[in-house]
Structure 1
């Protein structure tokens, strides 16, 4: 599984970072998402799914 982030859609809400700070961060310049680990393993897979679900701008997606 791979996390795909569309920074053009990202509004900087930070829900992904709140969901799992080991997978996501935010740019200091504009607050957009930074994916720290685009291929999560183990328990982090479920956290990635949750982050995709809670993203208000639908800027995150998962690819198998």
Structure 2
């Protein structure tokens, strides 16, 4: 499983990144997903005092 992290100054930059990358909101707080090459890739969005962190795994 590959894991990638990305830091953004705020959520207003993280959400467009996720949608441009083909992720869809999973109706759970901060959880996104997409299908790619026959596998599911997940993204978790964590929002804190120092910005937004996206963790992509799959």
What range is the shorter-chain TM-score in?
Answer: 0.3 to 0.5
Judging by fraction of residues, say which structure has more strand: 2
Question: Which one has the largest radius of gyration?
Answer: 2
Judging by fraction of residues, say which structure has more helix: 1
TM-score when normalising by structure 1: 0.31
